[in-house]
Amino acid sequence: MKTTTRQTLIAVALFGALSGSVLAQPAVDAAQVRAETAAAVAAGQIAYGELSYTNTADPGPQRSMADVRAQTRAAVAEGTIAYGEASAPIAPFASTRSRADVKAETLAAIKQQLIPYGEAPVAAPTARQVAAVRMAAN
């Protein structure tokens, strides 16, 4: 046998002999394991299924199902809750400007080449261009 192989075998034998006492665990029978597991389940320390933690937070005040349904019906009737797949209702927009003002401003912005079309990049307007657009609306 080569020296390195012999040294390796001796090191493995010594490690096994010395670690046997360190890694030794007391013998536990199946009944004791079952009892400890049942105690942990009863204490809520072991989760079932997909639950990965024990929720110990207080759920807060409990309301009856009738109260919840009544509150939901009231919210639907007021229009503050969406029905079905619709998004939440949006408050109607009320403009303070006339249609003619908006149209004149849009035409001035087109004339100043501030409204791109196609794949043209959006240009940052200069102060003079902004003033010209605003003056067109007045």
The 10s digit of each residue's pLDDT in 45-66 is 776 666 666 566 677 778 888 9
Evaluate the CA torsion angle 45, 46, 49, 53 in order and state its sign. positive
What does residue 6 show for φ and ψ, rounded to 5 degrees? -65, -40
Higher pLDDT, 17 or 76: 76
What does residue 101 show for φ and ψ, rounded to 5 degrees? -65, -45
Please give the single-letter amino acid code of residue 138.
N
Q: Dump pLDDT digits (tens) for 116-137.
A: 888 888 878 888 888 888 888 7
Kindly report the pTM of this predicted structure: 0.34
Whether 9 contacts 17, CB under 8 Å: no
Alpha helices in the chain (DSSP H): 3-23, 30-42, 65-78, 99-111, 127-137
